[in-house]
Amino acid sequence: MTLPAVDTPAVLIDIDRVDANIDHAQAHAELKLRPHIKTHKLPMLAARQVVACGAVGIPCQKLRRRICGRAGAVAGAG
């Protein structure tokens, strides 16, 4: 699909840039990151943060987000 063919409004994610940003953030941290799910609310990105840079967890405030996020991360990983 080409960019002009995308219906708007649409969310487009440059996954290479996401991966580079995850690596960059971890490179500048003294400890392993613990990014909050509310930053992006995307289980796929949370799973990438854990796998790519060894994040020690993905905290969340609400139990519903945690359950949905965990189910999405598991479904997306396998």
Q: What is the pLDDT of residues 14-43, one digit of tens each?
A: 999 988 988 888 888 887 878 777 777 788
Which residue segment(s) compose the domain that 71 sits in? 32-78
Identity at 26, one-letter amino acid code: Q
Query: 16 in a domain, yes or no?
Result: no
For residue 71, name the pLDDT band (cuts at 50, 70, 90): very low
Please state the domain count of the chain.
Answer: 1
- Stated pTM of the model: 0.63
Query: 1 in a domain, yes or no?
Result: no
Q: Is the distance from CB of 46 to CB of 58 less than 8 angstroms?
A: yes
Query: 26 in a domain, yes or no?
Result: no
Query: 4 in a domain, yes or no?
Result: no
